Amino acid sequence: MSKAKIILNYIEKRYGRYIDNSTLRNKKIFELLIGTILSQRTRDENTDKAVSRLFSVVKTPKQVLKLSLSKLQNLIKPTGFYKQKARRIKQISKILLEKYKGKVPNDRKELMKLPGVGYKTADIVLMYGFGIPRIAIDTHCNRIPKRIGLVDREANVEEVRKKLESLFPKNKWYLINLGFVNFGKEICKPVNPLCIKDSRNCPFSSFCKAYKTRKFKV
Ligand code: SF4
């Protein structure tokens, strides 16, 4: 069995029941976009706090524009870089209203023209908002395949995405991002992956390049 197949089987078995493609697609797309921006360089628990504070007050770009900048900053204060993010959320809301009738565009190039929206955020919105198959490459999706040896260590995020998309069947792409995120938090941690203590802590240690060479830094 190929490495990719072993990984997919594991992800599906371990995390599949928590990852329901249909419910993910039901997310409100504006909230998904803003929530993803709020999550940048921020711990999950702080993102969750900021998201629930913000969206208990506003639901639409128009409502965001009615908020004062200081009120917006205060609502999203639990996240890192909240001042910069508040400015971006205002700018995004203005652009969405002026250019897209208040809707989030379902086009990668258009999404990436929005302030603070890079590859990862655009792909998350496309995949989990619009149901357009993509593998969004965040820090876990970049690190883990490189450690395992699925992807060249020197590859940039676009190369990582293309490689992963070539390795996994399209109808399973929605699992890959969330599966690696969970696996990266639980086992293949950025620092001190659990295999260092005991190879039995990781189901991929028998074929993982980083484990064999003891080079974990990506
Ligand atoms: S063996 Fe270690 S480095 Fe490799 S995937 Fe597992 S936890 Fe990560």
CA distance 68 to 72: 6
CA 92 / ligand 1 centre spacing (Å): 38
* Best of 151, 204, 214 for a ligand 1 pocket test (most atoms within 8 Å of beta carbon): 204
φ, ψ (nearest 5 deg) of residue 213 = -95, -10
Residue 26 has pLDDT above 60, yes or no: no
Nearest protein Cα to ligand 1, atom 2 = 195
Q: Report the chain's C-alpha Rg in angstroms.
A: 18
**pLDDT tens digit string along 42-86?**
988 999 999 999 999 999 999 999 999 999 999 999 998 999 999
Among 171, 161, 166, CA closest to 132: 171
CA distance 11 to 180: 8
| Domain coordinates in residue numbering, the chain | 3-20+136-213, 23-129
Nearest protein Cα to ligand 1, atom 8 = 188
**pLDDT tens digit string along 157-188?**
999 999 999 999 999 998 999 899 999 999 99
Tell me, what's the pLDDT at 19? 63
Which two three-digit tokens encode residue 41? 């360089």
State the CB neighbour count (10 A cutoff) for residue 45: 9
The CATH superfamily holding the domain 23-129 is: Hypothetical protein; domain 2 (1.10.340.30)
Contact between residue 123 and residue 108 where contact means Cβ atoms under 8 Å apart: yes
CB distance 143 to ligand 1 below 6 Å = no
Among 46, 20, 44, CA closest to 140: 44
**pLDDT tens digit string along 92-122?**
999 999 999 999 999 999 999 999 999 999 9
Q: Would you identify the CATH topology of the domain 3-20+136-213?
A: Endonuclease Iii, domain 2 (1.10.1670)
CA distance 64 to 14: 38
Model confidence, pTM: 0.88
Residue 216 — very low, low, confident or very high, per pLDDT cuts 50/70/90?
A: very high
